Amino acid sequence: MPDCYAVVGDPIAHSKSPLIHRLFAEQTGQDMVYEAIRIDRARPFAPAMGALVRQGYRGFNVTVPHKLAAHDLANTLTPRAQRAGAVNTLVVEADGSLTGDNTDGIGLVQDITELVGLPLTGRRLLILGAGGAVQGVLEPLLAERPAALHIANRTADKAQRLAEAFADLAGETALSAGGLDKLKQLDTFDVIINGTAASLQGEALDLPIHLLAPDGLAYDMMYGKAPTPFLRWAERVQPAAERRDGLGMLVCQAAAAFEIWRGVRPNAETTLAQVRQKL
């Protein structure tokens, strides 16, 4: 019987994770099964997970809307999952207890620095949004030692609170925060990461046209068949800059989870090209 893993979320039917992990398993010769399981968002998370653990699953990826519940459920948290305040990877230990980790941030950083090939060290970074998605990636982004990291959010207070919560990790990085409406007062950024839910709703953010450097990168943590409104904005105001959606982050966070479970590191770049082709 091969080891079983699953991604849990709601909705889950369109998850790319089963495809990604099947490709990883083929590539690395691992004998395993990976499924997508819907856990109803209206139902308590813990009993549903308990049932899956008793069925013998060895690990889980956790996606919307259960990342906070998984954080609360885990018996042990890695330091980065504690900082993220959310769990996207669970390991079922030999005694049945759950270790919670978060690979979203390292996935994002790997995609930008290795797959896109843009070092973040010494760069000016702008993050749009101040929800769970952004909190989940701040620690690994700060670890790259950007020159500046500004968090801009529609609700400025939330951005401010996030910047305060991560101030101890800033080191040499100028960490700041403010409202989306104050962006016109700021200098150009090398990298702009959209971590708001605006793309999900098909909405464009109202951003000043000077914001992105010509040799910069516009990165949307969301992805879809068509470019997101944020990436279309970037193309319009700064066509010379690079543009990426969140599919690379998805593959890279999955690669990190796969390595945690199986002890072997799949090639994220090859897999991303395969997944992109099937999208």
Catalytic residues: 67
Q: Which is nearer to ligand ATR, 153 or 238 (CB)?
A: 153
Among 154, 161, 210, 232, binds ligand ATR (CB under 6 A): 154
198 scored as a contact of ligand ATR (CB under 6 A): yes
Query: Residue 128 Cβ, how far from ligand ATR at the closest point, in Å?
Result: 7
58 scored as a contact of ligand ATR (CB under 6 A): no
Query: Residue 154 Cβ, how far from ligand ATR at the closest point, in Å?
Result: 3
Among 17, 153, 173, 194, binds ligand ATR (CB under 6 A): 153
Query: Residue 172 Cβ, how far from ligand ATR at the closest point, in Å?
Result: 26
The DSSP string of the chain is --EEEEEEESS-TT-SHHHHHHHHHHHHT--EEEEEEE--TTS-HHHHHHHHHHHT--EEEE-TT-HHHHHHH-SEE-HHHHHHT--SEEEE-TTS-EEEE--HHHHHHHIIIIII----TT-EEEEE--SHHHHTTHHHHHHT--SEEEEEESSHHHHHHHHHHTGGG-TTSEEEEEEGGGGGGSPPEEEEEE-SSTTTTTPPP---TT-EEEEEEEEES---SS--HHHHHHHHH-TTSEEE-THHHHHHHHHHHHHHHHS----HHHHHHHHHHH-
197 scored as a contact of ligand ATR (CB under 6 A): yes
129 scored as a contact of ligand ATR (CB under 6 A): yes
State which residue has the least CB distance to ligand ATR: 131
Among 32, 98, 130, 241, binds ligand ATR (CB under 6 A): 130
161 scored as a contact of ligand ATR (CB under 6 A): no
74 scored as a contact of ligand ATR (CB under 6 A): no
Chain positions contacting ligand ATR, by CB under 6 A? 129-134, 153-155, 158, 196-198, 201, 203, 205
